[in-house]
Amino acid sequence: MRKVFFKQGVKYDLDGVVKIILSAQKVYQWYDQDVVITSLMDGEHMEGSKHYEGMAVDLRTFFFTREEVENVATDLHAELGEDYDVVVEPTHIHVEYDPK
């Protein structure tokens, strides 16, 4: 089974992100990659970011091709459902719980 790693210094509140992390582990395993979480509640994010509520996760992507990143994002959204936003950023995939 592939593993999940947290970058040193990452702060988190698991109540808000458990489903995201487990879904990311499942999807990344399909691509034979470990999940590396680069940000949860730490770092600087835009005002009102779900990161500050413990409801967002940034996932490392540099080991994927651009096409794979798009596929991973699509697969993550399918796994998580409509209450989650999955956004491909230049250096990572941002995933947040944001029920409509």
Mean pLDDT for the stretch of residues 78-92: 93
pLDDT for position 50: 78
Residues 99/83, Cβ–Cβ less than 8 Å: yes
Specify the pairing of strand 4-6 against strand 35-39: parallel
The pLDDT mean for the chain works out to 87
Domain that holds residue 84: 4-97
User: Residue 70's pLDDT is what?
Assistant: 98
* 48: pLDDT strictly greater than 60: yes
Domains identified in the chain, total number: 1
Asked if 88 and 40 count as a contact pair (C-beta separation under 8 A), the reply is: no
Q: Which three-class secondary structure string do you get for 23-55?
A: HHHHHHHHCCCCEEEEECCCCCCCCCCHHHHCC
CATH of the domain at 43: 3.30.1380.10
Residue 14 has pLDDT above 70, yes or no: no
